[in-house]
Copies of this chain bind each other. A is one copy, B any other.
């Protein structure tokens, strides 16, 4: 395959694997799904994302914050309360997740025919 095409291919590949990296892994999707349904406190999220440890939830939320998909808001209550929500940018995942869902559903229908 001409060197030029290979280069183009690799350039195309990078953003695709970036997007996959953001969503892959056992916990990212359940967390993002829960936040699509509304803002959550830490304990609420931990209850909803079955089986996740506090340490892992903190790490995954940190990743999502760094990637500007999740916002952490601290409320000046007593005691202080912390809430997690999807950012406006985080909501742009909806179209991609819908496309993944549609393809995945089609795949399940084909494979489990």
| Interface positions of A from 59 to 113, Cβ below 8 Å from B | 67-68, 89, 92-93, 95-97, 99-108, 110-111
Number of residues from A at the complex interface, CB < 8 A: 43
**A14–B34 alpha-carbon span in the complex (Å):** 14
Beyond A16-B23, A19-B104, A95-B103, 13 additional pairs, beta carbon < 8 A: A1-B37, A1-B38, A5-B37, A9-B34, A12-B33, A15-B100, A15-B108, A16-B29, A17-B29, A19-B100, A19-B101, A19-B107, A68-B111
- Residues of A bordering B, CB below 8 Å: 1, 5-6, 9, 12-20, 22-24, 29-30, 33-34, 37-38, 48, 67-68, 89, 92-93, 95-97, 99-108, 110-111
Q: Are A100 and B16 in contact (CB under 8 A)?
A: yes
B9 near A37: Cβ-Cβ < 8 Å: yes
Bound-state CA distance A19–B106 (Å) is 10
